[in-house]
Amino acid sequence: MSAVLPWGSIRYMNARTTRWAHTPALPLLPSPIARPPFRPRSIANHMVTVWQPLSSRMIILAVSVVVWRWWSPTMIEAATIRPGWVAEIWLRNIVVVLGSAGLTHLWLYRWRRQGDNLRYDARPLARKRLFLFGDQTKDNMFLTLTSGVAVWTAWESFMWWAYANGVAPRLDLGGSVIGTIGFAVLLLLIPVYSNNHFAVVHWLLHRGPAYRHVHSVHHKNVNVGPWSGLAMHPVEHVLLFADVWVFLLVASSPLHLLFAMMHHGVGAPLSHTGYDAIELRRGSSGNPLRLAVGDFHHQLHHRFIECNYGGLESPLDDWLDAFHDGTPEGDRQVAERRKRLAAARRT
């Protein structure tokens, strides 16, 4: 996550090294949510920052609201699993991922609208025999549009059926003051929950056979692009989207479900752009408006592998002593950690 100031302005350290073409302000710091002591004011400031208008989190919420209102089944339809409404969800999810990954890829990599400005790793995306079709982008598109969207659709369709049949408890907006507050609080908590679910699953996928046979598919992407976000083994797709199980226990709305799922369908492509931000038109001050996307914390994971399993809102990396803050000292610590892990595997 970038060091982001309110209302879309971004604070950068103009660091150009042989390793990175661009970095955000370093060292990276975990969110106050993830690192004690509990500091209410710092947490409040963090929430204002990550929920600013020009942020990926607000885009994900906006897409979720649009889909909820205008492109989702009714409860009557969802009460029985039928090919018609399931196919509509599948088609809608194809459109969503074409918008999030496809348009972002065209803007940044095909049309090159901002060149390498704000790009972490300026090397071109790979064309190697390692990838299907000998092309990183085509390989990533295939995995995303086949297994990725199919698993996403299956989980979502099951949850719509669960809401319609009372298997998943419902929380409707406007039912009462307490219910409305709960509705809003749950929306605020979903990104933190999603981040921590991903952290645990991701760390488990780095253990032994799970990495060799499953997660290594995603790690073919050393330098990432938007289509890399959901390019993974089908088993990993199942585990990634499985975070919706919590809505079988916690009262929620289909909007909460969609918001959680769009953190993968929209959020994963945006966090894998390989750029710290997308530059939009210039604002009234003359400075470019920047849409905060990308995730240098996760970019470090793709480069060094055994670090940064979670996000900045997860304490897991601190607990595992696997937090890479982007500095040369972080490089040294992660190199030592990899040696220890390699020695442990040999014994």
Q: What is the pLDDT along the chain (347 residues), one digit of tens a residue?
A: 333 322 222 333 333 344 899 999 999 999 999 999 999 999 999 999 999 998 999 999 999 999 999 999 999 999 999 999 999 999 999 999 999 999 999 999 999 999 999 999 999 999 999 999 999 999 999 999 999 999 999 999 999 999 999 999 999 887 688 888 999 999 999 999 999 999 999 999 999 999 999 999 999 999 999 999 999 999 999 999 999 999 999 999 999 999 999 999 999 999 999 999 999 876 556 677 899 999 999 999 999 999 999 999 999 999 999 999 999 999 999 999 999 988 888 87
| Amino acid 7: pLDDT | 27
Sequence-ordered list of residues with C-beta below 8 angstroms from that of 8, at least 6 positions apart, any chain: 52, 53, 54, 55, 289, 290, 291, 292
The pLDDT assigned to 282 comes to: 62
189's CB contacts (< 8 A; 6+ apart) are none
Name residue 68's amino acid.
Answer: W
Place of tokens 């989980």: 155
Q: Quick one: pLDDT at residue 5? A: 27
- pLDDT, residue 174, reads 73
Asked whether 170 and 163 are in contact (CB, 8 A), the reply is: yes
What was the pLDDT predicted at 4?
A: 32
Structure tokens at 302: 């793709």
Q: How many CB atoms lie within 10 A of CB 178?
A: 8
Q: What pLDDT sits at residue 283?
A: 56
Q: Can you tell me the distance from the alpha carbon of 268 to that of 337, in angstroms, rounded to the nearest whole number? A: 27
Position 190 scores a pLDDT of 97
Q: Distance between the two ends of the chain, CA-based, in angstroms? A: 36
Q: Residue 206: its pLDDT value, please?
A: 96
Measured over all CA atoms, what is the biggest interatomic distance in the chain, rounded to whole angstroms? 62
- Residue 98 has a pLDDT of 98
Residue 342: per-residue pLDDT? 87
Does residue 94 contact residue 145 with C-beta atoms inside 8 Å?
Answer: yes
Please give the pLDDT value at position 205: 98
**Among positive and negative, which fits the CA dihedral 294, 4, 201, 259?**
negative
Q: Which residue has the tokens 């790009």?
A: 119
Predicted pLDDT of residue 24:
95
Cα–Cα distance for residue pair 37/319, rounded to 1 Å: 15
Q: What is the dihedral of CA 200, 205, 207, 210, to 10 degrees?
A: 150
Let me know: does 280 contact 287? Beta carbons within 8 Å: no
Q: Tell me, what's the pLDDT at 19?
A: 81
